Amino acid sequence: MIFKIMKTFVVLVVMATFGATGVSAQESDDPIIIPTHNWNSQIVMSHVVGKLLEKAGYNVEYTPMDSQEVYESIRLGDVTLELEVWEGTFGQSFNAALEKGGIIDVGDHNAITREDWWYPAYVEELCPGLPDWRALNRCAPQFSTPKTSPKGRFLAGPVDWLQNDQERVDALGMDFIVVNADSASALWAELESASRGGVPIVLFNWTPNFIEAIHDGRFIEFPEYGKGCKDDPSWGPNKEKTHDCGNPPNGYLKKAAWEGMEEKWPGAYRILEKLSFTNLEIAEMAAFVDVNRLDPEDAADAWLHENERVWKSWLQ
């Protein structure tokens, strides 16, 4: 009996000393809470990173959450981190939370992002002058649906991605009506059916994404993005309105964390600092779900299995 206890004690001491789990005794065993949203690269990446943190000995929980409200939740410490802060869709909410305090910028992924109005390549033959937004606007009736006729339909993402598309349509005086899709998969279903019929469609899309491996297409070129476009009416071609520009064509993809994370889980914070994914890696994560139809957890396992050389050093 006494030997058994001693043996257990020795094993525990050895684990604590040599960090068999990677987590030192001072770190919290409260769960690190990772929010998940409604597009697949983010969900898979969240599980990839959650599994890495578990390998390092941390407890992890996932919680589905609105992709704008998450910045306020991180600030308050209700969730611990965010792995995909896209500049185009979330830059404003992220900046607002940074200004209030409680959330920190943990650096960029090695990726360049773009999120904007997009069309499949065959549309170019039907609407000369694309990808210029003025050409698109001249062709507006071609993009109409029974509900929007005679105006064109812009098929936007789910409302929580808050693209301010209606503001842009108003500021640029476009003959389009913004219709929000309920989900990312609804966007892809509409793209598939339009493509099969050769029907003009303009919809919200982004890169990196699995779509670019399957569909040739382009983003609409709006008046070029500049600082001030989204909050200063006097900026840009319309001197009275905001949002008279496209999204940044070379947007960032950042990681963010609750400012208490470093003190509570220092080793996990180091891992978050080190980790970074490329455009191709992010597109692969989405493709495991959107193309190969794995569920997000299995997709994360598959991704980790194929990419050990990418993540191994983050755990050291």
Site residues (vs ligand TMO, CB under 6 A): 39, 86, 89, 115, 157, 161, 206
CB of 28 to ligand TMO, least distance (A): 30
Residue placing its CB nearer to ligand TMO in the complex, 58 or 161: 161
Report the alpha-carbon angle 297-301-306, nearest 5: 145
If the CB atoms of residues 143 and 210 are measured against ligand TMO, the closer one turns out to be: 210
Q: Which is nearer to ligand TMO, 27 or 115 (CB)?
A: 115
Rank residues 94 and 269 by Cβ distance to ligand TMO and give the closer one: 94
Backbone phi and psi for residue 210, each to the nearest 5 degrees, phi listed first: -70, -20
Taking the least distance from each CB to ligand TMO, the nearer of 104 and 111 is 111
At 235, give phi and psi (nearest 5°).
-75, 140
- Least separation in angstroms between residue 67's CB and ligand TMO is 6
Task: Output the CA–CA distances (angstroms, integers) from residue 224 to 120, 217, 245, 249, in the order listed.
Answer: 21, 19, 6, 8
Degrees to nearest 5, angle at CA 209 with 261 and 103:
20
Burial 285-306 (b: 16+ CB within 10 A, else e): bbbbbbeeebebeebbebbbee
Q: How far is CA 268 from CA 19, 33, 41, 211, in A?
A: 14, 12, 21, 32
List phi, psi (to 5°) of 141: -60, -25
- Closest contact distance (angstroms) between CB of 245 and ligand TMO is 17
Tell me how far, at minimum, the Cβ of 286 lies from ligand TMO, in Å. 9
Q: Order the strands of the 176-180 sheet from edge to edge.
A: 176-180, 152-156, 203-207, 114-120, 217-219
CB of residue 205 vs ligand TMO: minimum separation in angstroms? 8
Q: List Cα–Cα distances, 251 to 145, 220, 223, 298, in angstroms.
A: 31, 15, 16, 29
Q: Closest CB to ligand TMO among 158 and 236?
A: 158
For the CB of residue 315, give the shortest distance to ligand TMO in the complex, in Å: 27
Nearest CB to ligand TMO, comparing residues 86 and 210: 86
If the CB atoms of residues 161 and 219 are measured against ligand TMO, the closer one turns out to be 161
Shortest approach of ligand TMO to residue 204 CB, angstroms? 7
- Tell me if 142 sits within 8 A of 153, measured CB to CB: no
Residue 282 CB, nearest approach to ligand TMO (Å): 9
User: C-beta of 84: minimal distance to ligand TMO in Å?
Assistant: 7
When the beta carbons of 158 and 200 are compared against ligand TMO, the nearer one is 158
* Residue 174 near residue 140 (C-beta atoms within 8 A): yes
